[in-house]
Structure 1
Amino acid sequence: MSKATRATRALDAAGVAYRLHPYDYDADAQAAAGGKGLQAAAALGIAPARMLKTLMAWVDARAVCVVLPSDRQLQPKALAAATGGKAARMMEVAEAERRTGYKVGGISPFGQQRPAPTWFEQDALAQESVFINAGQRGLLLELAPADAVRVLQAQVAAISRP
């Protein structure tokens, strides 16, 4: 497994401190219930609130990247309202992979091929550090959530529910 990805290179270029954490990726984890993130949290022995998942969505006709804790569900109406749009929906897997250049299960908000505006769940900022995909299945990076928001130039809002 390579430890250098577009995501880690983007963080290196921004001068952000992070730690890498490899884990045994389970391709069969139930994605619909946040299963891949919850499985990764269990593999590393961390609270699910610290394990953030990256989702790609559409708000009206605009692509957006969404980062939220793995134990929470995106609220499309809240996302649409936060972005000033009318409706939000999840992006199809093939389109998310084409836009980001990453495979589902390894999508990182950092170093995407076609970056989209990023929205970050405000509750994640309460954590001292969070874990976010490093751009490769089975590889996570740990960093301060404020650093992630700064590098991504993300907007912060309440866009999910438990």
Structure 2
Amino acid sequence: MTPAIVFLEKQKAAFTLHQYDCTAQDDFGAHAAEQLGVPPERVFKTLLTEGEQGAVVALVPSSGKVNLKRLAKAAGVKKLEMMPPQKAERLTGFKVGGISPFAQKKRLVTVLDASAQEHDTVLVSGGKRGLSVGISAAEIARLLNAACAPIAE
């Protein structure tokens, strides 16, 4: 059981678990979509960014990428850049390819791409490679106090 799953259970969140065999070395979201047989726009990747005001988590579909200007605006900061993978691992406590938005070492500002609202549930990392969580956009927003904005392109 990962810290993310423990967190979701403690919060009595409505979610489903989806396990798959992860053999990818990069583009983990697209790999998860393929392995689980779901459209890539329903599998959201957890990306970490940083700026002068600190770190911001972006949740965007694996079929796209984050627009850093739109993310900064949604987070109420001036400028953001992608965080190096090793720093993201240290900050969250999860390995790249398995970084969950839930139960990170420190609660960070989180922005969910508005497209998540187009689906009953989206898949996000469950805290390790090969484990995804099916959860609604509303539940993500509630659990993480996440903003919802059009941040993907």
What TM-score, normalized by structure 2, do the two folds share?
0.95
**Which residue of structure 2 aligns with residue 11 of structure 1?**
8
**Which residue of structure 2 aligns with residue 79 of structure 1?**
71
Q: 2:48 aligns with which of 56, 79, 87?
A: 56
Q: 1:129 aligns with which of 121, 128, 132?
A: 121
Indicate the percent of aligned positions where both proteins have the same amino acid.
38
Check whether the contact 1:100–1:115 (CA below 8 A) recurs between aligned residues: no
Shift of 1:60: 2.9
Residue-pair matches, total = 153
Q: 2:22 aligns with which of 12, 21, 25?
A: 25
Say which SS state the counterpart of residue 142 (structure 1) adopts: strand
Say which SS state the counterpart of residue 98 (structure 2) adopts: coil
Say which SS state the counterpart of residue 45 (structure 2) adopts: strand
Separation of aligned partners in 2, 1:54 and 1:44: 18
Separation of aligned partners in 1, 2:69 and 2:99: 23
Segments of 5+ residues of structure 1 without an aligned counterpart are none
Task: Kindly report the root-mean-square deviation, in angstroms, between the aligned alpha carbons of the 2 structures.
Answer: 1.1
Give the 4+ runs in structure 1 shifted more than 3 A. Answer: none
Check whether the contact 1:10–1:110 (CA below 8 A) recurs between aligned residues: yes
What TM-score, normalized by structure 1, do the two folds share?
0.90
* Alignment-mate amino acid for residue 61 of structure 1: Q
Separation of aligned partners in 1, 2:12 and 2:87: 30
* Alignment-mate amino acid for residue 114 of structure 1: K
